[in-house]
Amino acid sequence: MKPVIFGLAGPVLTPDERAFFAAAAPAGYILFKRNIEDRAQLRALTDSLRALAGRDDLPILIDQEGGRVARMGPPHWPAFPAGPAFAALYEVAPMSAIQAMRTNGEALGLMLAEVGITVDCAPLLDVAQSDTTEAIACRAYGSAPMPVAALGRAMLEGLAAAGIVGVVKHMPGHGRARVDSHHLLPTVTASADELEIDLEPFRTLADAPMGMTSHIVFEAWDRERPATLSPVVIEQVIRGAIGFDGLLMTDDIDMKALSGSAGDKAAASIAAGCDLVLDCWARMDEMVAIADRLPEITDAARRRLDRAMASVTPGQGDFAELIARRDAFLALV
């Protein structure tokens, strides 16, 4: 098994993808809007991925946070609210906000499980600042560690109740970035003491099954390399100061914050200590280059992967009832 999660080009596996994936044996896959038409098509696609891999516990990922980050949406699926809606409720009724987020996560998870998706890249644990880039601010769960952690745990618990594995992101924190790492490399100049605020939600949820790195340079820890490529940040901060021992994947290595070839970036992230590489865009030449450069998954990474995928069981909640309960809580604001 190669320590990589690949994207797909379209709504069905192409013959070239089928042959390549069978040979490369990636750890999992991630889906985007280009892969999604309706329920029947999406279930057929995820079933085909499981059949190709021969693994019922195959990680099939999606970014389905709510708000602007939603790959599944109307008319086939309802829209879900983004993090700030729950943060606003937390300001006036913390326990109601936590219950709202938990029911929201369970409903969202049931929607994913129905079509064979097994992992959601949520919750986002970045603590927002006054100058946080809009790419994060419009999704954040708040501007203080306690509500971010509380709402993040509620989302993880809701997803797990529906049989979906959650991914905490973007470790060790994206809240101080003033530019969007999809386009530019952010540099954070805050001191290690100041960054304790950013670490706190991740430390509180250090038992999460999966986590995702950030493509950010933190001068307090490593002036030369972004977190994804930094052994210092991964070993001393994510594994050390935070205490995270779950499966650690990169954010998408195609994001412009990282420079170099796809193969170079993939190899460097694994060498730095990431368990898996996330490569989203299904460019065959780049996927081949990545597979050629990567070693087999390490025993430690495979144990973390297996443990994460075994951490949830299929849920049996009532989707409509969960949505109604969530909306009744959110109406309190």
Give the catalytic positions in this structure: 182, 251
Distance CA 133, CA 173 (A): 13
Element (H, E) at 5: strand 2-7
Hey, what are 49's tokens?
């991925």
- Nearest Cα neighbor of 269 from 280, 277, 258, 260 is 277
Other CB atoms within a 10 A radius of the CB of residue 224 amount to 9
> Can you tell me the distance from the alpha carbon of 186 to that of 167, in angstroms, rounded to the nearest whole number?
22
- Structural tokens at position 23: 């040979």
Give the C-alpha separation, 208 to 169, whole Å.
10
DSSP state of 227: G
Q: For residues 15 and 156, what is the distance between their CA atoms, to the nearest angstrom? A: 36
In this structure, are strands 69-70 and 64-66 parallel, antiparallel, or unpaired?
Answer: antiparallel
